[in-house]
Structure 1
Amino acid sequence: MTAGGAEPAPLVTGADTGADTGTDSRSGPAGVAVGADARPASRPALAARTRGLRKVYRGTVAVDGVDLEVPEGAVVGMLGPNGSGKTTTIRMLLGLVQPTEGEIELLGAPVPGAADRVLPHVGALVESPGFHPFLSGRENLLRFAAAEPFLSGRGLSGKAMDGAVSAALERVGLTDAARRKYRAYSLGMKQRLGLASALLVPRRLVVLDEPTNGLDPAGTQEIRRIIAELHAGGVTVLVSSHLLAEVEATCTHVVVLNEGVVVAQGALDDLLESGSPALLVSTPDGERAVDVLRDRRIPARLAPDGVRVDLATTPPATVIEVLVGAGVGVDEARRERTGLEEVFARLTHDVGAGSGADR
């Protein structure tokens, strides 16, 4: 499925426990499906999927029953406070950490059983990239390219290897620093080189763990551009980030983790509209508009840029019909969406409270 044809997955909040476990599904924001039974029978194709994923380190639960779905062709942002289990989940997806319990499918195949078959189609940047400090950026990438497994019966060698390395360096903006030793790279340059290694050959899935770590605003914009290019080419991207504005600008879907549990996942637009739905009406007669709507028992109040109308029980068309029918001028009307920061705080309850590195 191409990027443009990926069908948005339904937004689900709370633990997707299902009937088999005997546990109760957690409640989520108004208008959002809760629990496994709320999902429709028709589902999009998935690039990654987990069921009951659990990881325990010496008695400490890092990930607890994660049911993750990454639609093909989507850009999925993985969010959560420090210690929420984002990195541990990613490492289990890639076969770098063995789960205590649960099932993992990557590109339709079980992991770790079929890891040797599917991982060549996955590019990843997880935590701090590791390279040889006394080699240049280009020399490091040449070694990565030489180690690339064969894809589609074709490997990287000779001119093809040189071309792939040059293209990857240019793509991440490191052409001018290609011959500089890695030990002289800044943190942002090291992140760029790690991303270049993940993009040496075409991938079906790209997994990025905090890819903008150490980057200046210009570098962050470049990462946004690269993600957009991957998305346009039909590549599935899973990116963990603490920069909510970047997630809102680049992602089509989100997964929110808190204390090792998925508390919401699905299309970003659905998540942003999962709070109290509202219509913002721009009118030259705000006070009269509020009176007219309240007379019809439609909750409304004056706002700095117009009249805010609660849509919990009233569709937008009815609001406009009531106002126009009463002779109230309407200059503009638009749905008001909750900001991702507000939604994130509501779902995690303690945004910013974590003090350690992510689990």
Structure 2
Amino acid sequence: MRTVSVDGGIADHPLSPPTGPLAARTRGLRKTYGPTVAVDHVDLDVPEGAVLGMLGPNGSGKTTTIRMLLGLVRPTAGEATLLGHAMPDEAGHALPDVGALVEGPGFHPFLSGRDNLLRLAAAEPRLGGGDIPGAVDDALERVGLTAAARRRYRGYSLGMKQRLGLAAALLVPRRMVVLDEPTNGLDPAGTREIRSIIAELHASGVTVLVSSHLLAEVEATCTHVAVLHAGTVVAQGELAELLETGNPGLVVSTPDTTAAMEALRGGRIPSRLVPEGVRADLTAATAPEVVACLVRAGVPVHEARRARTGLEDLFARLTQGETNGEDRPERDGLSDVVETDGEDT
């Protein structure tokens, strides 16, 4: 595993490896379509009980990796295990414990949402016939589709279709839930509901793998992150640890930012103005030394806290910085992630 360096590249020190059992694992995973390399030697660890957000520009290989992990696509090379079972050969043992929404839901357009779920529930190996109606109604209520349950699927909006796909993934209790762009087409209220469902799953011990282009949602809901770029994993680990790998700094809140900047400049401590006050570079001094420098200069310090790299900044460093420094084809990095809903390779 690799982390972000101070200059925006990749640092030499590794993140802490996962210490608990893994719900999913890939090693050397590779998928080619003729001359096109969709996924190239992906090593991915999904800790059991984690909410792992898979990030990457469009075409970075997120969906292809998920499809191989679920046994929907056979890899060209490498191996994948899901809940301890080799995929795709042992898919029959793993998939009953996995709920998935991948590349948008597919249902019969002339059936109602409820009737579509009833058909799917009938194929669930762990649902008896008498349990099916109750399981379907519970799933519909959980995703907020009870009022629209008897409407035909062809009349559903994109957001309602996403909700029905999520309901299908939650028909029975799962050990792991895989969601590919689950908030696609949802309004802010629907997005908050999906966030709440993910939090409930996490609280109950379910492992959740979420592929998303919405950085704010990943930062709000995920405990772990894996960043894919050009078909490979460029960083992964606990979200909090990844966000601490950037240039360390101390943000000081003070009413006199001009005096603070002059004091730090006199102490040879690099600093810059930020909306919260002044940000001092901790590569040149420790936090106590920064505060002491300001106090000696008579600068009032209202608050001092360690600055943390934002996920947007981290993503840009990993996908844009690395591309510009290595012999890889250039791709649209952050703009793809925050502005488009295009298909993944």
TM-score normalised according to structure 2 size: 0.88
The question of 1:202 aligning with 2:173 is answered yes
* d(CA) in 2 for partners of 1:102, 1:271: 26
Alignment partner, residue 129 of structure 2: 157
The question of 1:271 aligning with 2:247 is answered no
Answer yes or no: is the 8 Å Cα contact 1:287–1:302 preserved in 2: no
1:165-206: CA deviation from partner (whole Å, max 9, x where unpaired): 111000000001111111221111111111000001111110
The question of 1:13 aligning with 2:2 is answered yes
Aligned length: 329
Alignment partner, residue 146 of structure 1: 122
Quote how far apart the aligned CAs of 1:13 are.
2.6
Of 75, 82, 87, the match for 1:106: 82
TM-score normalised according to structure 1 size: 0.85
* d(CA) in 2 for partners of 1:40, 1:328: 39
Of 166, 169, 182, the match for 2:153: 182
- 3-state SS of paired residue (2:5): coil
Answer yes or no: is the 8 Å Cα contact 2:51–2:207 preserved in 1: yes
After TM superposition, the structure 1 stretch with the greater mean CA deviation from structure 2, 62-71 or 348-357, is 348-357
Quote how far apart the aligned CAs of 1:109 are.
2.4
* d(CA) in 1 for partners of 2:17, 2:138: 42
- 3-state SS of paired residue (2:146): coil
Answer yes or no: is the 8 Å Cα contact 1:145–1:156 preserved in 2: no
Alignment partner, residue 122 of structure 1: 98
Matches within 5 A, 1:130-141: 130-141=106-117
1:2-55: CA deviation from partner (whole Å, max 9, x where unpaired): xxxxxxxxxx337xxxxxxxxxxxxx42499857x9365772221111000000
1:89-127: CA deviation from partner (whole Å, max 9, x where unpaired): 000000000000011111122222322111111100001
The one-letter code of the counterpart of 1:94 is L
The question of 1:87 aligning with 2:63 is answered yes
- RMSD between aligned residues: 2.3
* d(CA) in 2 for partners of 1:40, 1:248: 19
After TM superposition, the structure 1 stretch with the greater mean CA deviation from structure 2, 111-120 or 175-184, is 111-120
* d(CA) in 2 for partners of 1:269, 1:104: 26
The one-letter code of the counterpart of 1:123 is G
CA 1:42–1:353 in 2, change beyond 3 Å: closer, same or farther? Answer: closer
The one-letter code of the counterpart of 2:43 is D
Of 252, 255, 278, the match for 1:281: 252
CA 1:109–1:310 in 2, change beyond 3 Å: closer, same or farther? Answer: same
- 3-state SS of paired residue (2:213): coil
Matches within 5 A, 1:196-345: 196-345=167-316
